Amino acid sequence: MIEKREFYIGGHWVAPAMPRDHFVIDPSTEEPCAIISLGDQADTDAAVAAALKAGPGWAATPPAERLACVERLLTLYQARAEEMARAISLEMGAPIDMALASQVEAGTWHITNFITAAKAFDWVHPLGDGTPGAMIAYEPVGVVGLITPWNWPMNQITLKVIPALLAGCTMVLKPSEEAPLSAISFAEMVHEAGVPPGVFNLVNGDGLGVGTQLSTHADVEMISFTGSTRAGRAISKAAAETLKRVCLELGGKGANLIFADADEKAVARGVRHCFQNSGQSCNAPTRMLVERAAYDRALEIASEVAAQTRVGSAHEAGRHIGPVVNEAQFEKIQSLIETGIKEGARLVAGGLGRPEGLNKGFYIRPTVFADCTPEMTIMNEEIFGPVLSIMPFDSEEEAVAIANATPYGLTNYVQSQDGPRRNRLARALRAGMVEMNGQSRGAGAPFGGVRASGRAREGGRWGIEEFCEVKSISGWEG
């Protein structure tokens, strides 16, 4: 049993004010694997006070020195990649090979892209030609509260901590209590990288406790949150009284538009993307809309891919998907699969219960529904499991209407060999991101959505700007 009961506050590991044990459950076995402490108001106050005290010094630190700290952190992060992968695999169930190649690598990717963006970032620059003495300065927001989820721990922690450091902010991180071990390892790396005491602080806790305390704290200037839309609404309300800046990256219900002229791997690629990380990705393409001429063949391929998708322990090497994170998620997904069946969707792969041979652990059968209709629950709710819903369409206009008929707007996908069509759809689809023909976002591109998916723009230059105040200066000399 791993014991990690201390918090990182003011550059030191300190015991919580009033210890409250929380068991971290290994989703592959349903057994406790670690014990952490959950913080209370006194711990949150201590962390915010440390961040507030360190704020002026870190804000005045030259950007080049802040960048050097991040570069040292990247070196340490890469050196401890295998340790980080083991922590992520244990706490949230990502298969160990995937944890190393995708989960940990996501952090490397973001840190590297932020370093590139910071080197080109013009912290003070002229407003423009014809405005002598008018300058624009980017300055840190101040103390920021960072609240991160369990599904991609290092992806989200690096998307928040790194730009906050580069911008000159000080911070308190509350990682998910479901996946705290990777965050604790990350805090050790921040310390070893030489980030000054109080600049980065970590307090474990739950959303109702530390999460709410950060959201309402008078000395916290900004909350950056990734998680459910429901929690995002609650945080926005809690933060309103103190007029905080609130940046939200929330849920999604991505549509994948597959036209008859799509490449031969498009359907299989979409199914695998939906099932990646056991379906626990906010940008998963969980609604597959297929042009009617290609519909029957798409169902055959999707069924085959689901049948070939192996499910197994996160501790086993290999290309398979692991369990979902906990019992609550398992039961929610089972309930939504049952709802899909009751509402008339045709089950062509998977279904209720655990995969054959797996009697313990939060394992879900890779599931595909056909003949879905837009009003079905499984076409509207974010399932957050390896469950794909497929329906046909007859025209480009119909496909766009179905894709946009959702309160979410994170990522949509297009598969077609027709370039002008892709360009039209990229503009017509209401989402913060559109990815086409399997091409991922470019290095440093912003990640974020619209509407119920939140409106954060994390990554690269945009991610740094989120942690900055923009100051207008007139009468600048020189």
Query: Could you count the other beta carbons within 10 Å of the beta carbon of residue 376?
Result: 19
Could you give the CA distance from residue 400 to residue 89 in angstroms, rounded to a whole number? 38
Strand partners, 8: 13, 202
Q: Are the C-beta atoms of residues 381 and 402 closer than 8 Å to each other?
A: no
CA-atom Rg of the chain in angstroms: 23
Cβ–Cβ < 8 Å for 138, 168: no
Rounded CA-CA distance 368/385 in Å is 11
Taking phi over 0 as left and psi of -120 to 50 as alpha, with beta for the rest, 105 belongs to alpha
Q: Which of 69, 169, 282, 372 is flagged as catalytic?
A: 282
Residue 110 is encoded by which pair of tokens?
């973001």
Distance of CA 209 to the CA centre of its chain: 21
CB contact set of 232 (below 8 Å; sequence gap of 6+): 225, 248, 250, 454
Q: Spell out the residues 6+ positions from residue 436 whose beta carbon is closer than 8 angstroms to its own.
A: 413, 414, 415, 416, 422, 425, 426
Q: Are 454 and 232 in contact (CB under 8 A)?
A: yes
Q: Is 249 a catalytic site residue?
A: yes
* Cα 403 off chain centre by: 22
> What burial class does residue 458 get, using C-beta atoms within 10 Å of its C-beta: 0-12 exposed, 13-18 middle, 19+ buried?
buried
Q: State whether residue 82 is helix, strand or coil.
A: helix
What is the distance between the alpha carbons of residues 453 and 450, in angstroms, rounded to a whole number?
Answer: 5
Tokens of 322: 């692991």
- Identified catalytic residue from 6, 91, 177, 249: 249
Helix H segments across 375-451?
396-404, 419-428
DSSP state of 325: S
- Look up residue 55 and give its two tokens: 């704020």
Phi-psi region of 231 (alpha: psi -120 to 50; beta: other; left: phi over 0): alpha
**What DSSP line would sit under 43-107, residue for residue?**
HHHHHHHHHHHHHHHHHHS-HHHHHHHHHHHHHHHHHTHHHHHHHHHHHH---HHHIIIIIIHHH
DSSP reduced 3-state for 348: strand
- Number of other CB atoms surrounding residue 237 within 10 Å: 12
Known catalytic membership, residue 282: yes
Question: Which active-site residues does the annotation give?
Answer: 249, 282
